[in-house]
Amino acid sequence: MGKRKAARQQDEIKLSINGMPDGEFDIEGLMNSLRVEIQSLAVSARTVMIEAIMDSESEQLAGKRYSRETEVDRWGTESGYVILGGQKVRVRRPRLRNKQKQEVRLTSYEQFQNEGPRREWVFNRLVSGVSSRNYARTVEEFGEGYGISKSVISRKVVEATAEKLKELCERDLSKLDVCVLVLDGIHVEKTVEIVALGAETSEKKHILGMPQGATRNSVVCKELLQDIQTRGLQTGRPMLVLLDGAKALRWAVEETFGARGIVQRCQLHKRRNVLQRLPKRYQAEYDRKISTAHGMRSHDDARKELGSIILELDRLNESAANSLREGLEETLTVHQLKLPDTLRKHFFSTNLIESAFSQGVSVTNNVKRWRSNSQI
């Protein structure tokens, strides 16, 4: 029946093409008309392949039909399902039983029912920004597809994210050649996720850990650094540590690394802190001045220029001047190290971690209501 239908459709396509006037071959229209049939054929082909594999295993266990040469007998077929494209798809599965009338299960059928790949599929869609509410709309809607309700996907999301988080926060770090550490926090509801990112000499970036705290308290920060040490991160050599200026993070670095922790305070955070203390009419001017000073190649030149700006701010706004003065030398660590421009543009701020935060925000924006800290 399937072959006759395919042949008829092929003839119809040929007639459609041959009946068109010269120069009017509508490839877009033709592809649109075929799209549904092609998708249906692809799904059918996968289902046929799966059923063929199960039939092959049945023949290995029970022999050819009516042979009666093994200890396993055929026991008809029944409706079952496999996981395809992130949802369940109905198939006919062979049934077998042994001489004691006990069912013999097919290994292939159990593998095709494995929820692991579906969890992976759901997780990949989740991190691409698809919410569990809209998940069903994003998968191929097979004619025989089912099992993709919101509740099912929510459950798979919980399973997948819990599994991935456990892998992330427990993996061995001893083989990483980390030379730069970035520590920053991101607010979600009333909690703060403290995130540690490591940059290797090979230029690869890795999220190393992400504990949760009500605030950026020093205990949580120190526990994070102790945890990544316990998991093997090499901290016996000098390491450039990028911070946003949070005192809890600074204390944790000093306690953990001592003199080996070479701190670079984020210049962008420092500039924003200064500008927030200025009247709006002065913000653009001093944003430009501070940015120009930070952009100077020489440490002495940058230090001198920032000193001049502090004197100006002392007369204009003492709070802004004190903000720029506080931790000034640590904002110029990349100057003191005489890093080349290609490295300085990456290490003068905590922006190395911003792509991870951005991805996190794009996913968490799908959440309408946070129910618990574990969900966060």
Helix residue ranges, H only, 19-95: 27-62
Helix residue ranges, H only, the chain: 2-18, 27-62, 107-112, 115-127, 135-138, 150-170, 218-230, 247-257, 267-276, 280-294, 299-316, 318-325, 333-336, 341-347, 354-364
**Any idea which residue has 């459950």 for tokens?**
155
Percentage of the chain with pLDDT > 90?
A: 35
Lowest-confidence pick of 54-68, 187-201, 241-255: 54-68
pLDDT of amino acid 260: 92
Higher pLDDT, 134 or 258: 258
Residues 118 and 261 in one domain: no
Q: Given pLDDT bands bounded at 50, 70 and 90, which one contains residue 66?
A: confident
pLDDT of amino acid 337: 93
Please tell me whether residue 215 adopts helix, strand or coil conformation: coil
Residues 316 and 179 in one domain: yes
Indicate if the pLDDT at residue 16 is higher than 60.
Answer: no
Higher pLDDT, 123 or 176: 176
Q: What is the pLDDT of residues 275-294, one digit of tens each?
A: 999 999 999 999 999 999 99
pLDDT of amino acid 46: 72
Residues 161 and 214 in one domain: no
Residues 28 and 105 in one domain: yes
Expressed as residue numbers, the domain containing 229 is 174-364
Residues 127 and 191 in one domain: no
Nearest in space to 101 (alpha carbons), one of 69, 75, 120:
75
372: in domain = no
State the Cα–Cα distance between residues 287 and 180, nearest whole angstrom: 27
Lowest-confidence pick of 84-93, 114-123, 260-269, 318-327: 114-123
281: in domain = yes
State the Cα–Cα distance between residues 27 and 43, nearest whole angstrom: 24
pLDDT of amino acid 325: 95
State the Cα–Cα distance between residues 279 and 75, nearest whole angstrom: 83
> What is the pLDDT of the chain when averaged over all its residues?
81
Nearest in space to 246 (alpha carbons), one of 289, 299, 315, 184:
184
Q: Count the domains in the chain.
A: 2
Residues 119 and 158 in one domain: yes
Residues 180 and 70 in one domain: no
Higher pLDDT, 31 or 194: 194
Residues 103 and 180 in one domain: no
Q: Give the mean model confidence (pLDDT) for residues 324-329.
A: 94
Percentage of the chain with pLDDT > 70?
A: 76
Higher pLDDT, 375 or 301: 301
State the Cα–Cα distance between residues 288 and 152, nearest whole angstrom: 53
Please state whether 232 falls in left (phi above 0), alpha (psi between -120 and 50) or beta: left
pLDDT of amino acid 374: 80
pLDDT of amino acid 357: 87
Indicate if the pLDDT at residue 214 is higher than 80.
Answer: no
Nearest in space to 209 (alpha carbons), one of 191, 201, 218, 221:
221
Indicate if the pLDDT at residue 17 is higher than 60.
Answer: no
Higher pLDDT, 316 or 111: 316
Residues 25 and 91 in one domain: yes
Residues 118 and 256 in one domain: no
- Report whether 277 contacts 217 (CB < 8 A): no
- Report whether 199 contacts 178 (CB < 8 A): yes
State the Cα–Cα distance between residues 367 and 355, nearest whole angstrom: 20
Residues 277 and 328 in one domain: yes
Which residue, of 127, 143, 165, is where some domain finishes?
165
Length reported for the chain: 376
Residues 227 and 358 in one domain: yes
Which residue, of 165, 189, 208, is where some domain finishes?
165
pLDDT of amino acid 33: 57
- Report whether 207 contacts 171 (CB < 8 A): no
- Report whether 216 contacts 248 (CB < 8 A): yes
Q: Give the mean model confidence (pLDDT) for residues 203-207.
A: 91
State the Cα–Cα distance between residues 197 and 346, nearest whole angstrom: 13
pTM: 0.65
Indicate if the pLDDT at residue 131 is higher than 70.
Answer: no
369: in domain = no
Which residue, of 165, 194, 222, is where some domain finishes?
165
Indicate if the pLDDT at residue 356 is higher than 80.
Answer: yes
Please tell me whether residue 202 adopts helix, strand or coil conformation: coil
Q: Give the mean model confidence (pLDDT) for residues 21-31.
A: 55
Q: Given pLDDT bands bounded at 50, 70 and 90, which one contains residue 241?
A: very high
Higher pLDDT, 90 or 172: 172
